[in-house]
Structure 1
Amino acid sequence: MKFLVYILAYPFLWLISKMPFPLFYFMSDCFYILLYRIVGYRKTTVRKNIKMTMPHLSEAEVLKIEKEFYKHLCDMFLEMIKTITISEKELKKRFTFTNLEIVIHAEQQNKSILLFCAHYANWEWMIILDQFIQHQGYAVYKKINNPYFDNLFRKIRSRFNTILIEMKEAIKIIRQNEMSKKHGIYAFISDQSPMIMHANYWQDFMGIEVPVFTGGEALCKKFDMIPMYLKVEYIKRGHYQATFVPLLSEGEKLKDIPNYEITHRFLQEVEKQIYESPSFYFWTHKRWKHQGKKPKNIK
């Protein structure tokens, strides 16, 4: 059954990816009408999240953000499909980096980089980074249940030389690479909610105390990697720019940083970006579902 779904869907996905951009975004507008106005996909969750985290907004402001978010959600989903066939030249034009010199300087230190990323704007297109760097790029991801679609998305995300590694394999692969002096840039999307039973740290995020992932910081310290936040911004439809934000100040040493401080700084950067332009955050996730459920044994 999973294979049948795949073989029926793939030709359709391929045809979408080959569409010229004007037609491509017209299709996205049609999906928006279907997803938002007719189906109402997770509309209750989106509205609740926006109101919960930004209670100062009026109903009209919430509705405006909500509509803009769904339009962007449809764009981003189709842009992920576009990656099946988009050329390197086209992607470089549509996803740019403002300060690659920071990465180049870090590479010259012969150290790996841990790139903290968020579900903001279009995080999928950051795979073009491998065309600008010397280190090997790795993206840590969660496996899709359908093995055929999992294989497809692995191929899509590795088209420009990024290597995908499953979350459960990350520690082993990073350890092997570091022991072999094979330095890399490891991208972790770390802004969503872990299972409450596995959470060992809670932080105020958008005014609400929530459990957070700390695995990225733990790996960063264990292997003495350079921590950075990749701030991806929406410029205009189909165009994004990314800025590398160091999570250590000049002169700071990772070994001297208190536990969870890197995670705290990363989430502060994400929060600041959301407040600046809330429409481009991934509001469909139930990020704040554990509100008020913090175990008493965790400080």
Structure 2
Amino acid sequence: MKKIKFFPFYLLSIVPIQLLFILSDITYIIIYKCIKYRRAVVSENLKKAFPEKSDKELREIEKKFYHHFCDIAFESIKTLTMGKKGIQKRFQLQNTELIKDLFEQNKSILLYAAHLGNWEWQAFFPQYLSDHQITAFYQPLSNKYFDELMQIIRGRLGVLCIPSQKGYKTLMKLKAENKLTFNLLIGDQCPAWNSGKYWTDFLHQKTAFLVGADAISKKSDCAVVYPKCTKIKRGVYKTEFILLDSSPKQSEKFSIVEKYSKALEQNIKLQPDLWLWSHKRWKLTA
């Protein structure tokens, strides 16, 4: 029934990925050169983040970002039907022994991620961590059709998608059932003006960060890990796990958010075009 409902996307997803990249190139021309989708936002963000770079360098990052942005859309659709061999070829993990060691210590894990690389391909984690329940906190989309599609994409291999407002309660329920969990949380959104926030220096800006991950990890005592992402080539990503905190209950308030901000900043500087520059990250001012 779902395949009928989302037939155009399933049909597109069986197309070889190299042909999808041709469609992505066409989409890039439309989005970047014709529609000029959020180009003013991207340009302003890049100038703020990299004041030391020339206009030529910034424009090059901008173009690479839009190419990557279009690729993500088609790569995400490909998630609907990509098989085991394709996943292993295109989504590579390093330092998996860290994850295994934490699970052997009876620790659940909070993966404190970001809109960097192809975050939608984190839906492939069950391919590598099949013995543990993997959850993903998400904000439901206002369009119910696309919200359901994204849940199918993210949950196809076994990720349990949880609305963010129910994330902590669900995590504690699973803990009470003695289930070790690997929980995906994206933390680089701009907080709402009336929500809890932590201010720090980030990419040359005083930047507000959400504090939910800090609170959740302390209450649940989940170990906190950052997934450092690099793009090896088009359609191929590598993730290295970096431990931010193994015992959050013992840590100072907001220390995890601070560590996360520094890990994310270093990751962005490594390959700037991989971050989501089209969102208004600095709407709030200190």
Structure 2 length normalisation: TM-score?
Answer: 0.95
Work out whether residues 102 and 244 of structure 1, in 8 Å CA contact, stay in contact via their aligned partners in 2.
Answer: yes
- Matched letter for residue 39 of structure 1: I
Of 108, 111, 114, 1:112 maps to 108
| Equivalent residue number for residue 38 of structure 1 | 34
| Equivalent residue number for residue 156 of structure 1 | 153
The alpha-carbon deviation at position 51 of structure 1 amounts to: 0.3
Listed one character per residue, the Cα deviations across residues 85-116 of structure 1 (whole Å, up to 9, x for unaligned) are 21122112100101111101111111210110
Of 173, 177, 180, 2:177 maps to 180
* Alpha-carbon distance in structure 2 between the residues aligned to 1:54 and 1:68: 15
Question: SS of 2:106's equivalent?
Answer: coil
Point out where structure 2 has 5 or more consecutive residues left out of the alignment. Answer: none
Work out whether residues 193 and 213 of structure 1, in 8 Å CA contact, stay in contact via their aligned partners in 2.
Answer: yes
Alignment of 1:55-70 (within 5 A): 55-70=51-66
The alpha-carbon deviation at position 253 of structure 1 amounts to: 4.0
| Equivalent residue number for residue 22 of structure 2 | 26
1:196 equivalenced with 2:203 (yes/no): no
* Alpha-carbon distance in structure 2 between the residues aligned to 1:231 and 1:128: 16
* Alpha-carbon distance in structure 2 between the residues aligned to 1:269 and 1:165: 25
Work out whether residues 114 and 187 of structure 2, in 8 Å CA contact, stay in contact via their aligned partners in 1.
Answer: yes
Question: SS of 1:165's equivalent?
Answer: strand
- Matched letter for residue 227 of structure 2: L
The alpha-carbon deviation at position 155 of structure 1 amounts to: 1.2
Question: SS of 1:231's equivalent?
Answer: strand
1:270 equivalenced with 2:264 (yes/no): yes
- Matched letter for residue 67 of structure 1: K
- Matched letter for residue 25 of structure 1: F
Alignment of 1:170-249 (within 5 A): 170-248=167-245
| Equivalent residue number for residue 127 of structure 1 | 123
* Alpha-carbon distance in structure 2 between the residues aligned to 1:177 and 1:218: 17
The alpha-carbon deviation at position 265 of structure 1 amounts to: 0.3
The alpha-carbon deviation at position 235 of structure 1 amounts to: 0.7
* Alpha-carbon distance in structure 2 between the residues aligned to 1:129 and 1:265: 23
Question: SS of 2:64's equivalent?
Answer: helix
* Alpha-carbon distance in structure 1 between the residues aligned to 2:277 and 2:101: 35
| Equivalent residue number for residue 94 of structure 1 | 90
* Alpha-carbon distance in structure 2 between the residues aligned to 1:211 and 1:232: 22
Amino-acid identity (%): 35
The alpha-carbon deviation at position 290 of structure 1 amounts to: 1.2
* Alpha-carbon distance in structure 2 between the residues aligned to 1:117 and 1:274: 12
Question: SS of 2:42's equivalent?
Answer: helix
- Matched letter for residue 252 of structure 2: P
* Alpha-carbon distance in structure 1 between the residues aligned to 2:197 and 2:235: 38
How big is the alpha-carbon RMSD for the aligned residues of Structure 1 and Structure 2?
A: 1.4
* Alpha-carbon distance in structure 1 between the residues aligned to 2:187 and 2:195: 14
* Alpha-carbon distance in structure 2 between the residues aligned to 1:120 and 1:20: 24
Between 261-270 and 82-91, the greater mean CA deviation after superposition = 82-91
The alpha-carbon deviation at position 36 of structure 1 amounts to: 0.2
| Equivalent residue number for residue 16 of structure 1 | 12
* Alpha-carbon distance in structure 2 between the residues aligned to 1:58 and 1:29: 26
- Matched letter for residue 149 of structure 2: L
The alpha-carbon deviation at position 201 of structure 1 amounts to: 1.8
* Alpha-carbon distance in structure 2 between the residues aligned to 1:119 and 1:97: 18
The alpha-carbon deviation at position 203 of structure 1 amounts to: 1.5
